[in-house]
Amino acid sequence: MAPAEPSTAPPEVRLRDLRPETSPVELVARIVSFERREITRQSDGSRRPLLSGLLSDGSATVRFTWWDPPKEGIERGIVLRAVGAEVREFRGRPEVSFTWRTRVGPASPAEMPRIAAEDLPRKSVRDLAAPDEGFRVEVRVVRVAPRSVTVGEERRVVHDGLVADRTGAIALSAWSDFGLRPGEAIDILGAYVRTFRNRPQLVLDERSTVLRVEGADLPEPATLLASAPRTIARVEDEGGGEAVAVEGIVVGLLPPSGLVYRCPTCHRSVKNGLCRVHGAVDGQADLRARIVLDDGTGALTVNVGRADTERLSGMTLEEAQRRLREQPDPTLLEERIFEHLFGRRLRVRGLGTKDDFGVTITPESIETVELDLSSTADELSARLGGNR
C-alpha cells in the first residue's frame, strides 16, 4: 500500500463533520473493523473485490466501503489517510467510499485530529453503549489492576478495572498507563466503548486524556461494592452487570472443576498439553470450581478461582495433586469438592456476563451465609399465616 499523495484540493474534515455536500474530502481515521467480500458485476458477471467496515477518528464512527482494495497491508487498528474520498448518506447517516479516484495510504496515529475538551458532549455511564466515542465522562475508579496480554507477537500490559458514577458502573480497559488509583475521581476524554463478553467496556488508548477531579459528586467504591444482593432472575433480565451481587444455594458443580492445567503464557485451560493459542505447552496446575448457584428465581454459574476453591472445599492444590496421584480419577476430586459445597448458602459479588448458556459470575468476593433457622422458620410461618 503506497503512501497517499499530498493534495490540498479536497478539504480535510473530521468524521463527525462529514456531509454529502462536502464530497470529495480528505480524512485521517483508524480502521475499527472490516470484512472482505466480492461483488458480482451485473454487466459481465465478473467478481469485484470489496472491503467494508467502520472508521473512527475519535469524533465519530462511520461506515466505509473500499472498492478494489489492496490484498495485503490492511488490518484492524491501522491509521489511514484518504484523499478524495466520496461521502454519501445512507439511512440518515454519512458513509465514506474509497473509489479508483481516492488515494489511500498509511498515516501515523499522531496525524489523527485532536479533539478539544469543550467540543465533547458529556455522558453518564448509563448512556454509554458501543460503538460510542467522542464524549467525556466523569467517573470514580472502583478498582484497577495491570494484566499482561499477548497482542500478535508482542507482550503488552493492559490496565483492567471498573469505574462508576451515580447512574451505573462500566468495565474499564486502559492500554496506556494513566496512573489510575482506586478511589480517585477522574474526567475521561477521548475514550471509546466496545462490547466485550456481551457487556459494554470503556477503552482508553494513547489518544485518551485523564484529568483528576476534586469534589466530584460520585459514589464511593465501598458504596458500590456493598450493594444489596439482587435476585438471579433480575440479573438474568439485565444481562449481567459489572458489580453483581447475588445470594443462593449451591446445587451443582460443572466441568471442568477440580484440578486443571493452564497455559503459562495466557493462562487459558490446556487440554491434552495443547493451548488453543500457543500450541503445545507445559501446563501449570490450578484448582477451580464451576458452581451452580440457585436462589429460587433462577440459577447461574460462578467460576471460582484457586484461593476461594481451597477455602470453600478445605482442599489445597497440593492435596488435590496428591489425591490424583493416589487415585488417578479426576471425577473423585470433583465429588470431594461438591460434597463440601452442596447445600451451602453463598453471597457472591463480581462481574456477571450473559451468553447462550445463561449468566456467569467471575467473583471478586464469596462469603458463606449462615442461616438463622429460628428467624427463617418464623418468617416462613408468618408468610403462611398471611396467606390464609
Give domain 15-111's CATH architecture. Beta Barrel (2.40)
Q: What DSSP string runs through 251-319? A: EEEEEEEEEEEE-TTT--B-BTTEETTTEE--PEEEEEEEEEEE-SS-EEEEEE-HHHHHHHHS--HHH
CATH 2.40.50.140 residue spans of the chain? 15-111, 117-221, 227-373
Tell the burial category of 268 from Cβ atoms under 10 Å away from its Cβ (0-12, 13-18, 19+). Answer: middle
Decide which of 41 and 96 is more confident: 96
Q: How far is CA 206 from CA 109, 212, 320, in A?
A: 9, 17, 45
Cβ contact 54:194 at 8 Å: no
Which residues 6+ apart lie within 8 Å of 77 measured at CB?
A: 30, 31
Decide which of 308 and 216 is more confident: 308
Evaluate if residue 196 carries a pLDDT over 90: no
The helix/strand/coil state of 200 is strand
Cβ contact 188:139 at 8 Å: yes
Q: What is the pLDDT of residue 156?
A: 81
- Best CATH choice for the domain 117-221 from the list 1.10.10.10, 2.40.50.140, 3.30.70.20, 2.60.40.10: 2.40.50.140
| Amino acid in the structure at residue 199 | R
Evaluate if residue 32 carries a pLDDT over 50: yes
Evaluate if residue 71 carries a pLDDT over 90: no
Structure confidence by residue, pLDDT tens digits, 350-372? 889 898 889 999 998 999 998 66
Written as nine digits, the cell of 71 is: 490484498
Task: List the Cα angle 18/33/208 in 5-degree steps.
Answer: 70
Q: How far is CA 41 from CA 38, 44, 45, in A?
A: 10, 6, 5
Q: What is the pTM of this model?
A: 0.63
The whole-angstrom separation of Cα 94 and Cα 364 is 43
Q: What is the pLDDT confidence band of residue 7, given thresholds at 50, 70 and 90?
A: very low
Q: What average pLDDT does the chain have? A: 86
Structure confidence by residue, pLDDT tens digits, 147-189? 887 666 677 889 999 999 988 889 999 988 999 999 999 999 8
The helix/strand/coil state of 106 is strand
Q: Where are the alpha helices (DSSP H) in 193-270?
A: 221-225, 232-238
- Residue that the C-alpha cell 429460587 belongs to: 296
Computed on alpha carbons and rounded to an integer, the radius of gyration of the chain in Å comes to: 26
Please state the φ and ψ torsions of residue 321, each to the nearest 5 degrees: -65, -40
- Residue 204 belongs to what H/E stretch? strand 199-204
Evaluate if residue 382 carries a pLDDT over 80: no
CATH topology of domain 227-373: OB fold (Dihydrolipoamide Acetyltransferase, E2P) (2.40.50)
Q: Which of 309, 310, 292 is nearest to 301 (CA)?
A: 292
Q: What is the pLDDT confidence band of residue 388, given thresholds at 50, 70 and 90?
A: very low
Q: What is the pLDDT of residue 3?
A: 53
Decide which of 355 and 277 is more confident: 355
Q: Which of 73, 75, 57 is nearest to 14 (CA)?
A: 57
